[in-house]
Structure 1
Amino acid sequence: MSIESDIDLEGITKVSEVVATTLRQMREHTKVGMTSRGLDDFGYAILQSYGAQAAPKVAYDFPGYTCISINNEAAHGIPSDTTVLQEGDLVNIDVSAELNGYYADNGGSFILGEDTKGLGKLVDTSVSALYKALKEIRGGRKIADIGRIIETEAKKNGFKVIKNLVGHGVGRSLHEEPHEIPCFYDKQETRRFRKNTVVAVETFISTKGSYVHEKGDGWTLLADEGAYVAQHEHTILITDGEPIILTAANGI
C-alpha cells in the first residue's frame, strides 16, 4: 500500500506493533512439550486483546490463527493438537493480522532449547541476510538487487534460497503489489521499490534444495527430505533512505 495520510501511517504502524508483539510473546512462551495448537491459541488470545483479527483466517480461511512450521515444514504449517514441540526443533512462527482495515505480516525461525540439530548457523544466516537486504531498500532501488543480496549471503554461508516462496506488498490486504519480492537474483525482474509504500520482506534460507512442495493438506509447504528452511520477515515502510522497520518490536 501507499501511505497517503497520517491516518494511513498510524493504522499501519499500530497493526505492525500488534503482530510484532504477538510474535515476540509467542516465541517467549514456546516450551518443550507444548502443542503447536496450544501455541497458536496463545497467539490468538494476544491478537484478540488488541482487537485484531488473524489475517490468514480472515483472508484465506486458514485452519489456524498463525502459521507454525516445524523442522522440515518450510511455511504455512497448520497448528495441531498432535504436534508436540521437542528439544532442538526448528520452529517458525508467522503472525499476520488485520486491525481497523490495515494488515501487517512478520515471522521468524528459532531453535527450541538446545541446538541438537546444529541449525544455529542457518538461523543466523537468515537473520543477517534479512538485515543486509533491508539496509539497502529505498525508493527507486531494484527489487532484483535485494534478492541478490539475500542469495549472496546464503551462498557465502553454504546455504541455498527457496525460489518459490517470496515477500510481498502488504497494507490494505495481506498480499498486495508487488506480489513477489524474491530472495534470489532474477535478471528478468525490472521493477523498483517505491517510496512511501509498505512491503513485507522475507528470507527463506535452506540447508539443501531450492524449492518447496505441498504436503498434501492444502497448506503446509515442505522442504526436501532431510532439509531445513529458516525464514525471517519484517514489514517495512520504504523511504528515500533506510526503511522504517514497522515490526521491529518482534525482537528479531
Structure 2
Amino acid sequence: MTITRQDELDGLRMIGQIVANTMQLMSRAMEPGMTTRELDEIGRKNLDREGARSAPESTYEFPGATCISVNEEIAHGIPGDRVIAPGDLVNIDVSASKNGYFADTGATFRVGQVRPSLDRLCRDGRRAMQIGIAQVAADRPLAGIGKAIGRFASERGYTLIRNLASHGVGRSLHEYPEEIATWPSRREKRRITKGLVMTVEPFLSTGGLWADLGADGWTLYSDPRAPVVQYEHTVVATERGPIVVTLPG
C-alpha cells in the first residue's frame, strides 16, 4: 500500500495500535503453565473487542488468531496444548485488519530468566529491527535495510534467516513489495517510494540460516537448529524517515 491521504494514515494507525495493544496484552498475561492456546484466546478476545479480524485466519485459514512460536519454533507456530515453561523464548506475532486496513507486529519474549546468551540475543534482535527501520525513507534503496542489519549481525557474530523476509502491507497482509530482504542482497535494486507501507522484521539467530517447514504444514524451524528471535513493526516511508504505526497506546 502507498499512503496518499491523511485518512489512510489514520486508518493504518488505528489497526496498528490494535495489534500492538493485543501483543502487549498477551505478553503481560503470559506465565508458566499456560498453554499457547490459552494465550491465543486472550489475543482473540481483544481483537474481537476492538472490531478487528485476525489476518492469518481470514487470509490463509491459519488455525489460530495469532502465531505463537516457542523455542525451536521460529515462526507461524500454531496455538495448541504446548505448555509455556520458565526459561522459554516465546514469539508472539499479531496481524489483523479493520475497515480495510492491515497491520502486522511481532516480538520475542522471555519467560522468567533465560540464559545470558539468549538474553543478549533478544536485546540485539530488537536492536537489529530498529537499525533496519532507520533505513526507511522515501527514495532510499530497499537494499539498505538488509545491508545495515547484516552489518550489525556480522559484527556481533549472529546469522540471519534468509528465507523469511519483510513485506509490503496495508490493504492486505502481504502485498508489493512482497520480498524485502533483511539480510545483504546484491540483487535488490528497488527503491522505497514515498508513502510505502512495509514491515521490518529481521530473524536474528546464533547460527540458523534458513526456515524449514514442519510436519503440521505451518510451523517453521531453524536450519541448522539454533535459537532465533524476531521483532517486527509496520512502518510508513516518508521524506523525513519512517513512521512506526504499530505502537501501543
Task: Please tell me the TM-score bracket, short chain as reference.
Answer: over 0.9
Alignment of 1:163-174 (within 5 A): 163-174=162-173
| 1:228 Cα offset (Å) | 1.0
Q: Which runs of 4+ in 1 moved over 3 A?
A: none
| 1:246 counterpart residue number | 245
Say what the alpha-carbon RMSD is for the aligned residues.
Answer: 1.2
The amino acid of 2:206's aligned partner reads T
TM-score w.r.t. the length of structure 1 is 0.96
Cα offsets for 1:9-44 (capped at 9, x unmatched): 111110001001101111111101100000000000
In 2, Cα distance between equivalents of 1:120 and 1:241: 33
Q: How many residues were matched structurally?
A: 249
* Helix, strand or coil at the partner of 2:63: coil
Cα offsets for 1:214-250 (capped at 9, x unmatched): 1111100001364111000000111012211101228
Is the 2:208–2:225 contact (alpha carbons within 8 Å) kept by the matching residues of 1? no
Alignment of 1:1-252 (within 5 A): 1-81=1-81, 83-116=82-115, 118-224=117-223, 226-249=225-248
Percent identity between the two aligned chains: 43
Cα offsets for 1:73-102 (capped at 9, x unmatched): 110000012x00010101100000010111
* Helix, strand or coil at the partner of 2:131: helix
* Helix, strand or coil at the partner of 1:104: strand
Gaps of 5+ in 2: none
Is the 1:170–1:199 contact (alpha carbons within 8 Å) kept by the matching residues of 2? yes
In 2, Cα distance between equivalents of 1:27 and 1:18: 14
In 2, Cα distance between equivalents of 1:225 and 1:186: 21
TM-score w.r.t. the length of structure 2 is 0.97
In 2, Cα distance between equivalents of 1:2 and 1:175: 13
* Helix, strand or coil at the partner of 1:125: helix
In 1, Cα distance between equivalents of 2:97 and 2:105: 12
| 1:145 Cα offset (Å) | 1.2
In 1, Cα distance between equivalents of 2:223 and 2:175: 29
Gaps of 5+ in 1: none
The amino acid of 1:112's aligned partner reads V
